[in-house]
A and B are shown apart, each in its own frame.
Chain A
Amino acid sequence: MNSKEKVKSARRFDGCPVTETSAGIPLKEVYRPADLEGMDYRKEVADPGEYPFTRGIWQNMYRGKLWTRRVFTGLGSTADTNKRYKYLLEKGASGLYCFGDTITHQGIDPDHPLARGYAGVSGVSIVCLKDMHALFDGISLEDVSVSFNNPSMAAVVVYAAFVAYAQNMGYDLKKISGSILNEPIHLVYSMYETNAKPLGLAAKLATDVIEYSIKNTPRWHPIAPNAYDLHEKGANAIQEMAITIAIMEEYIQRMLKRGYAVDEFAPRVNVFGCACDMDIFEEICKFRAARRVWARTMSEKYGAQKPESCRLYLSVHTSGNSLTVQQPVNNVARVTLESLACVLGGLQSFDPAGYDEGYYILTEHSALTSLNIHNILAYESRVASVADPLAGSYFVEWLTNKMEEEMFKVINKINDMGGAIQATESGWIGAELDRELIREQQEIEEKKRIIVGRNEFVVSKEEEVPIMVGRDRPLEEQMATSEKRENEIRRLRETRDKKKAKDALTTLGEEAARGEAHNLIPLIMTSLRANATLGEILGTIRVANGATYDPYEVLHGQI
């Protein structure tokens, strides 16, 4: 080596190069009392547990109840998932998470021609009532909350199956708790869009779940809109919360039209599933601002009187998109920071992503690491001991105010267009998300956004810290799993009381044609008890509403 060649540090900057938030809000070098001039503590911030809940929804926050410590779960078979649930409960999890497989989200059955290879892949397959029995065998539903990640029309069937199962087992419906995603509007521009159409029908079915739930499963959260997917598809922190609140207004208005007073249902439709990305202060302020926007919307726009109608429960899956495939061990640091932001932001529940999320669904190792991030934050770090510890920071309060202002701008724009369904169908929201997605990607490309190991501080594969990551199942195994599932459902169709199933579906179809006011949950439960399947139930409802039986138009009725 030539002695003139010296090793240079790989650092690029001596000063921090960042001068704006991830959403593009310009930042000053320092914030001072003048930045908060005129701010009224009691009106705008207020103590934790008090309107407008900027500082959190409970007076003593985590001293009263720690956040629900969930870990992402959803493995091939219902029996595998059941085993993982028991493992996580033993290790200290306090809530269970159920992620449906691709075809459950799509609302099609495992023997649908397009489902080949997909049943039980990257999620659990829920098709019939028997599946709920297998999934929750040996787990007391009165002691643990279950969070279902079913966003599409399929949610109505999954919820009905869960309630029917709870009844079969003799649980007190008043005691079961948990949530279901159940929000189809966002699907149009985020994922699984096929099963959100027709959008009006999808929103009607989601409203059926809300209506049935507030009467029968009062501790259940019947809708938990998916702000997460919006974020992962491009939405910045402001858009993520603003669009979600605008979407929720659709359901609030439907429930008002069905004759309910806002305070009857609002306390149960106030759980959002969000993302938490790497801009830690922006995320903390996003949570604080969103609580205030929600509280003000409920109180000032819809006239809610009860404080519980104005409380917004926030839950998070830390951003998968923020993780790297390179040097997966670094993701433990990312997920920990994001989880810290969740705690400092006063969340009710979150699940730290697995460090190997870029590879496959969590292994037992990465699930344990995620669970221990919870445990370290909750029990070792002492960050949970004081409610909203960042309040009063000139910067945090200023950014919270700024984000509130920006969120209201987006919400007002959507309302001016006639609401979230119109803003979706016109393509406006989709275009907004694409623009932000492209901006973010370009900033990564130009190294305006540094991602360690991805666009800077890159090391060769050999230099990476060895760490175990999840592996895809080989194709043959994936096909075999799916085929086994397909056969199970075929067998169910052959061995069930065919007349009973057919009669139940016929009755359901008649009721489904009667319009908005006819809640379909009771008859969906009857159909499930007659061993009808997810695809059949949704197909019947779709046909009754003038849509095709099969969202993909391959099948034309099954029985």
Chain B
Amino acid sequence: MEDSANRKIKVVVALPGLDCHDRGIVYLSHILRKAGMEVVYLGKFNTPEHIVNTAIEEDADVIALSYLNDHLYMLFFPRVVELLKEKGCGDICVIAGGRIIEEDRPKLREIGITGFFGQSTPVGEMIRHIEDRVKSERWVEKS
């Protein structure tokens, strides 16, 4: 059996809602694959329900959400976390990127969303961030 602490990191990448600025997730998926992770690419136009169900079905470690167009991420991102909790899958890490304004970040951090990658976040930093979060989650799982 595969060693659970070392198995390939699986990331569901999605834009929730009707935002269509998918440049960021196209590139993110590319670099995550290059870094050896498995990517489930959902692309645009996803409801939080669909994103969460996919992550559970796929047994993903991470949900990577992106949003750029407007302020509705403050509706969709917390909803994703809420659904994960409802379904008893709070161990799936949620990270976010796009255009997440500074003032909203503390609120999102509070519910466990991290990352906040933007236009100029170096690739290495994004990969490291995801790896660190998954590692600590798996460590908690083991102990």
Instruction: Enumerate chain A interface residues (CB-CB to B < 8 A).
Output: 102-103, 106, 114-115, 117-118, 121-122, 191-194, 232-234, 321, 324-326, 358-359, 434, 437-438, 441, 445, 454-455, 458, 472-475, 478-479, 552
* 1/0 contact string of B13-55 vs chain A (CB within 8 Å): 0000111110100110010000000000000110100000000
Contacts A437-B23, A472-B101 given; does A114 touch B72 at CB 8 Å:
no
B120 at the binding interface (Cβ < 8 Å):
yes
What's the Cα separation between A50 and B5 when bound, in Å?
70
A326 touches B120 (CB 8 A): yes
Contacts A475-B71, A475-B75, A478-B72 given; does A321 touch B23 at CB 8 Å:
yes
A122 touches B44 (CB 8 A): no
A473 touches B119 (CB 8 A): no
What's the Cα separation between A441 and B29 when bound, in Å?
13
What's the Cα separation between A441 and B119 when bound, in Å?
10
B18 touches A102 (CB 8 A): yes
Chain B residues positioned under 8 Å from A234 (CB to CB): 23, 26
Interface size counted on chain B using CB atoms at 8 A: 25
A474 touches B71 (CB 8 A): yes
Residue of B nearest to A114 (CB): B18
Residue B23 contacts which of A117, A121, A233, A473 (CB distance < 8 angstroms)? A233
Contacts A437-B23, A437-B27 given; does A193 touch B44 at CB 8 Å:
yes
What's the Cα separation between A445 and B30 when bound, in Å?
13
B72 touches A117 (CB 8 A): yes
Contacts A194-B45, A233-B23 given; does A475 touch B119 at CB 8 Å:
no
What's the Cα separation between A166 and B44 when bound, in Å?
36
Majority-rule SS of B interface residues: loop
Contacts A325-B119, A455-B120 given; does A437 touch B26 at CB 8 Å:
yes
Chain A residues positioned under 8 Å from B122 (CB to CB): 445
* 1/0 contact string of B62-106 vs chain A (CB within 8 Å): 000000011110110000000000000000000000010100000
Contacts A437-B23, A437-B26, A454-B119 given; does A118 touch B71 at CB 8 Å:
no
* Number of A-B residue pairs having CB atoms within 8 Å of each other in the complex: 75
Chain A residues positioned under 8 Å from B69 (CB to CB): 102, 121-122
What's the Cα separation between A191 and B20 when bound, in Å?
6
Residue A103 contacts which of B18, B27, B47, B123 (CB distance < 8 angstroms)? B18
Chain B residues positioned under 8 Å from A552 (CB to CB): 45
What's the Cα separation between A276 and B126 when bound, in Å?
30
B26 touches A434 (CB 8 A): yes
Residue of B nearest to A193 (CB): B44
A122 touches B23 (CB 8 A): no
Residue of B nearest to A187 (CB): B20
5 closest residue pairs by CB, A with B? A191-B20, A475-B74, A472-B71, A454-B120, A441-B27
A438 touches B30 (CB 8 A): yes
Residue of A nearest to B20 (CB): A191
Residue of A nearest to B123 (CB): A445
B45 touches A118 (CB 8 A): no
B42–chain A nearest beta-carbon distance, Å: 14
What's the Cα separation between A192 and B44 when bound, in Å?
9
Question: Can you list 7 A-B contacts with CB-CB less than 8 angstroms, sorted by A residue number?
Answer: A121-B71, A358-B99, A358-B119, A438-B27, A474-B71, A478-B70, A478-B71
What's the Cα separation between A233 and B23 when bound, in Å?
6
What's the Cα separation between A102 and B120 when bound, in Å?
26
Chain A residues positioned under 8 Å from B26 (CB to CB): 234, 434, 437-438
B13–chain A nearest beta-carbon distance, Å: 14
B99 touches A106 (CB 8 A): no
Chain B residues positioned under 8 Å from A117 (CB to CB): 17, 72, 75
A106 touches B18 (CB 8 A): yes
A232 touches B30 (CB 8 A): no
Chain A residues positioned under 8 Å from B101 (CB to CB): 472
Besides A445-B122, A552-B45, 5 more A-B contacts (Cβ < 8 Å) are A117-B75, A118-B72, A325-B99, A325-B118, A434-B30
